[in-house]
Amino acid sequence: MLQPMAIALVHHPVLDRRGDVIKSAVTNLDIHDLARLATSYGLSRYYLVTPAQEQQLLIERIAKHWREGFGAEYNQDRCRALGLLRTVGSLEAAVKDWRGLVGPAALPVLTGARHKQGRTFRAVRTLARHQPLLLVFGTGHGLAPDIYANGWPQLAPVRNGCYNHLSVRTAAAIILDRLVGERGRVLAAGSD
């Protein structure tokens, strides 16, 4: 049994293809795909990280449609999945909220295709048995250097072949499956 687990999808600060720090746009599919994924694997929170107020409003409008509006009755599975969703302005706010829920031992783990020296999946699975994790995913071309300055552990890339350019949706799916597994169970965080 794994300790409670959460994911954060970061839209700022992330890099673009030239290496500049940008705010990326929230996409509807990222909201749904990752919420359904997180729910399927028993996670307790899915943080959408964006400082852009108009993006936060967009997320809330989409989430409200499926949680409360016509969508909740039309599609109860999406309703349930979006119950995990929290919109926050920064990764720090996500870490703070998650630690408030599961305790100060909760540890962010950064994911990225460039982490050639990152911890193995086996090592992070062991971590996950002992403390609540917050898996951090970057949009665009990955998390910006500021986030690495925290010294949080980094997870190795999904594949080490010559081609490793997965979308954040498919990479997150593979990472959760490797950590939790086909039959693995994750403890639920205390409800709020």
Which residues here bind a copy of itself, judged by CB under 8 A?
Answer: 17, 29, 32-33, 36-37, 39-42, 75, 77, 80-81, 121, 158-161, 163-167, 169-174, 177-178, 182-183
Q: Select 77 or 146, whichever has its Cβ closest to a copy of itself.
A: 77
Counting Cα atoms < 13 Å in the Cβ hemisphere of 4 gives 18
Q: Select 30 or 97, whichever has its Cβ closest to a copy of itself.
A: 30
Q: Select 44 or 147, whichever has its Cβ closest to a copy of itself.
A: 44
Task: Give me the amino acid identity at 74.
Answer: Y
Alpha-carbon span 31 to 71, nearest angstrom: 15
Tell me the closest approach of the beta carbon of residue 133 to a copy of itself, in angstroms.
19
Rg (CA), the chain: 16
Tell me the closest approach of the beta carbon of residue 62 to a copy of itself, in angstroms.
15
CB 45 within 8 A of CB 83: no
Tell me the closest approach of the beta carbon of residue 6 to a copy of itself, in angstroms.
16
Q: Select 12 or 141, whichever has its Cβ closest to a copy of itself.
A: 141
Tell me the closest approach of the beta carbon of residue 89 to a copy of itself, in angstroms.
26
CB 44 within 8 A of CB 27: no
CB 139 within 8 A of CB 10: yes
CB-based contacts of 76, cutoff 8 Å, min separation 6: none
Q: Select 39 or 147, whichever has its Cβ closest to a copy of itself.
A: 39
Tell me the closest approach of the beta carbon of residue 99 to a copy of itself, in angstroms.
26
Q: Going along 89-146, which residue ranges are E strands?
A: 107-110, 133-138
